Every structure is written in structure tokens, then in C-alpha cells.
């Protein structure tokens, strides 16, 4: 898709509950780069693998938009490296205790210690998912 492709944008919204009789009005176009990428030099995309974050709406195969310039804070979903392995988890900081929390009860929290060599590689700002299986 070229950078100048214009995608129609209906800002009024679509009812996810009871259908609205209102007719959608075109409000211009929406640039997905401007919407999803606030800091281009600090942003990257990564594909999610596995099911440890399904409770947060992150499913296997989703594309995550990650911004390294966003401050990592308690409760944010981050990309972390543990012993050279990358993972996406929710950050939980309680005093001196730091954990990476899955959003699926089938998985256990990961305790972060000085010895674990954990590094944080950005905050997940958007999740891009396909709602239609392509052939």
C-alpha cells in the first residue's frame, strides 16, 4: 500500500450492541501510520506467538505495535527479554518486586530478579489482528 493511499473514515462509529438507524457519514480519511505510530524512529512491529496474553486481547498471530519511547510503567503491556528469549507480558511492580504477568490463567507469573538479566524493549501501543481467515 502506498503512503498516499486514502482510506475512508466514518468517525460516527458502528453500534456493537443494539443497531443504530443513523446513517454513517464519511468524515474524511484515516492514516493508519499517523494513528498507530507516534514515534516512527522508536516504533517496531512484532508478531505475537502463543496464547499467554489472550485475556488482554492479544492472540496468536496478531501484530503488535511497540513504541520504545513510551515510559514503561506498572500495568503496561511490554516486550521483555529474559535470557535472550523475547516475551510479551503485563508489567507488575509492587515495591521492589517486579513480575511479568500473563493474561491467561494457564500460565504463571515470571519473577524478575537482578540475576534474570531482564531487559525491556518497549510498550505495546496497538494490536493489529485479522478478523477474517484468508485462503
Q: For cell 529474559, what's the residue? A: 82
pLDDT of res. 24: 60
Q: Rounded to an integer, what distance in angstroms lies between the CA atom of residue 23 and that of residue 29?
A: 17
Residue 105's pLDDT is: 98
Q: What pLDDT is attached to residue 92?
A: 98
- Walk along the chain (135 residues) and give the pLDDT tens digit of each residue: 456 667 777 777 667 766 655 556 667 888 888 889 999 999 999 999 999 999 999 999 999 999 999 999 999 999 999 988 999 999 999 999 999 999 999 999 999 988 888 999 999 999 999 987 665
Catalytic residue set: 52, 89
At 21 the pLDDT is 57
Q: What is the DSSP string of 60-119?
A: TTPEEEEETTSPP-TT-EEEEEETTEEEEEEEEEETTEEEEE-SSTTS--EEE-GGGT-E
pTM of the full structure: 0.83
Among the four given CATH numbers 3.10.110.10, 3.30.300.30, 2.10.109.10, 3.40.50.1110, the one describing domain 39-128: 2.10.109.10
Amino acid at each position: 500500500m502506498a503512503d498516499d493511499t486514502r482510506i475512508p473514515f466514518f468517525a460516527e462509529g458502528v453500534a456493537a450492541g443494539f443497531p443504530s438507524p443513523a446513517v454513517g457519514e464519511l468524515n474524511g480519511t484515516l492514516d493508519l501510520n499517523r494513528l498507530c505510530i507516534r514515534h516512527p524512529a522508536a516504533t517496531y512491529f512484532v508478531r505475537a506467538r502463543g496464547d499467554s496474553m489472550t485475556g488482554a486481547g492479544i492472540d496468536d498471530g496478531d501484530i503488535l505495535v511497540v513504541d520504545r519511547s513510551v515510559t514503561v510503567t506498572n500495568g503496561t503491556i511490554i516486550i521483555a527479554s529474559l535470557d535472550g528469549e523475547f516475551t510479551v507480558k503485563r508489567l507488575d511492580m509492587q515495591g521492589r518486586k517486579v513480575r511479568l504477568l500473563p493474561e491467561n490463567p494457564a500460565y504463571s507469573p515470571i519473577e524478575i530478579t537482578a540475576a534474570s538479566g531482564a531487559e525491556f524493549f518497549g510498550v505495546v501501543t496497538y494490536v493489529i489482528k485479522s478478523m477474517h481467515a484468508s485462503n
